[in-house]
A and B are shown apart, each in its own frame.
Chain A
């Protein structure tokens, strides 16, 4: 995907070599994919499903309108109401 869009950065991280960084994302099994710190899933998935997960990684209009998840919080995370 990174080869098809300048908007995409794709990282492969050897989790054993970066235990603290991996712990930040609660990596207990691999492969674990994290998209924009918002969407997380385990295992390999088909291309269409992967794209759906990528598209979920953006704030919804409602969230954007309320200024939520600006810090990349996970979906469903509690947020302070204005």
Chain B
């Protein structure tokens, strides 16, 4: 069974919000649109987005990490949002595990959003139906797109390629390999929702300079006759022994 998902690499995400607005752009005129905005040019503008990028700070100065954290529907394998839906508008596709909402069936009761621990669903306040990330289901199977572009809009847009897309059930897929090898993890594992989307943690590259690496036979100062002498005027045996 296929389970399509995103894997988001926090190690390279710079928090640019490209995935946020490209998602809006693709979807507002697409199958899942419009994504209505409220008070677009007035006080407290707000609107429907399927994907948001948030920022967290970890630790205290000076050991602070700034973590940019994109979040969209995680297409849970045990999606708590689906069974609670009274109308069947929320469903998980058998063939690829994508969780979708059928706007024609949705009554806008918001119950599914209560049942999502991740805050991944947003109601469209104008259309009054529940909306969420579709994993760009209207792109990834679109035969009229070149094969390389049959990917979610946000994945193609992401400048740091922090967003990877693939089948997490296929152990050989790029996403599975990354999850396995780079320490991919699910969000809020405590609820057993088994999010299909995974996150890759920050990884650090360090450099260790050994002291003896500073001393070298070919030190250019030698050529100037100026190799750093053992500092200053320390005594040597030569100075004090007389036999």
Say if A and B assemble together. no
A residues within 8 Å of B by Cβ? none
